């Protein structure tokens, strides 16, 4: 009930804002043609907020969507994992939203995404069931300011936000868009990820079932604001299993999670659009992980280079 109320409030306020601004300047909205867009994307690594767990996850992502000239759209995509020896459909994503543009400078959008992940997925964001986001941008001519925010729903809701700057340079059908941004938010998703035994700490890389929640104590005090999970530390079937619990300290604390730099490049030919997007992610503020044995360790983070390539075609 609490999750549903948060969703209603977020979508409601965002829609009221967008509709109020559009009502004030309806005559300046750019009208586009309706049409179906199909695409195919390659992603060299699935990095979430600058983070991965223990394995590189490559995706091939076919997409299809219908985009109405009013700004409303619906779309679906399929994430096919390309890792050697582990090729599988890792996720199906359904998405719907509304995009708008007012005048030559201001634009924005609202969207909701429903995720259906493979039970054996080891992607960090595989624990998220539903996401809602809003984004707004203003072109100052010299540079464009982008601000976005959203909610990611799992066992406990995360608040995620981003802000950044970009500049688009166009030369005929070519365009290049140097971009810098940062992401901030909470890390309740990481708690859930650990709880389900997907982490490298559990030794199963997501191939086992959830081991459940375990209440733990730190120096005699109950830890209620974090999630714990149990792992089997036995090295063979004949060895007795030793249960060790882990907690992520202050998972609900809002903080900067990573900085990202990218230089997207695109080329448009007739109804085709080709895009190449190399990006570099610098994660910061690693989570603190506390074990029931008294050991403390930091979340394992490192910088990542990610390459994304995509081709789309629009029918209209």
pLDDT in tens, 263-284: 999 999 999 999 999 999 999 9
Quick one: pLDDT at residue 183? Answer: 98
- Is the pLDDT at 229 greater than 60? The verdict is no
Mean pLDDT of 281-291: 92
Question: Which of 103-117, 142-156, 203-217, 264-278 is predicted least confidently?
Answer: 203-217
For residue 6, what are its two tokens?
């948060």
Residue-averaged pLDDT of the chain: 82
Which CATH code fits 2-186+254-284+301-315?
2.40.160.40
* Confidence band, pLDDT 50/70/90 cuts, at residue 242: low
pLDDT at 216: 33
Write the pLDDT tens digit of every residue in 206-222: 443 333 333 333 333 33
Q: What is the pLDDT of residue 296?
A: 87
* Region 253-258 average pLDDT: 97
The per-residue pLDDT for 202 is 61
Model's pTM, two decimal places? 0.79
């Amino acid at each position: 009930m609490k999750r549903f109320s948060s969703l209603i409030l977020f979508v409601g306020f965002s829609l009221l804002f967008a509709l109020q601004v559009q009502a004030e300047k309806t005559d300046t909205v750019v009208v586009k043609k309706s049409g179906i867009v199909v695409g195919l994307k390659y992603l060299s690594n699935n990095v979430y907020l600058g983070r991965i767990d223990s394995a590189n996850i490559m995706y091939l992502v076919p997409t299809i969507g219908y985009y109405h000239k009013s700004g409303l759209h619906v779309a679906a995509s399929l994430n096919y994992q390309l890792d050697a020896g582990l090729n599988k459909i890792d996720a199906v994503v359904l998405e719907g939203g509304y995009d708008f543009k007012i005048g030559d400078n201001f634009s924005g959008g609202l969207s909701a995404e429903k995720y259906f992940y493979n039970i054996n997925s080891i992607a960090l964001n595989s624990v998220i069931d539903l996401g809602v986001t809003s984004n707004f941008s203003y072109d100052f001519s010299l540079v464009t300011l982008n601000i976005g925010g959203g909610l990611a729903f799992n066992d406990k809701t995360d608040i995620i936000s981003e802000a950044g700057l970009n500049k688009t340079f166009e030369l005929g059908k070519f365009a290049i868009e140097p971009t810098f941004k940062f992401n901030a938010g909470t890390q309740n998703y990481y708690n859930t990820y650990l709880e389900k035994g997907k982490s490298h700490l559990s030794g199963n890389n997501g191939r086992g079932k959830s081991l459940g929640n375990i209440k733990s104590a730190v120096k005699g005090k109950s830890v209620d604001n974090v999630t714990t999970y149990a792992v089997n530390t036995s090295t063979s079937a004949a060895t007795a299993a030793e249960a060790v619990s882990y907690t992520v300290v202050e998972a609900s604390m809002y903080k900067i999670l990573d900085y990202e730099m990218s230089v997207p490049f695109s080329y448009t030919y007739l109804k085709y659009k080709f895009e190449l997007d190399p990006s570099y992610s610098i994660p910061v503020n690693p989570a603190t992980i506390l074990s029931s044995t008294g050991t403390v360790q930091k979340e394992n983070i490192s910088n990542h280079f990610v390459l994304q390539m995509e081709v789309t075609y629009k029918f209209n």
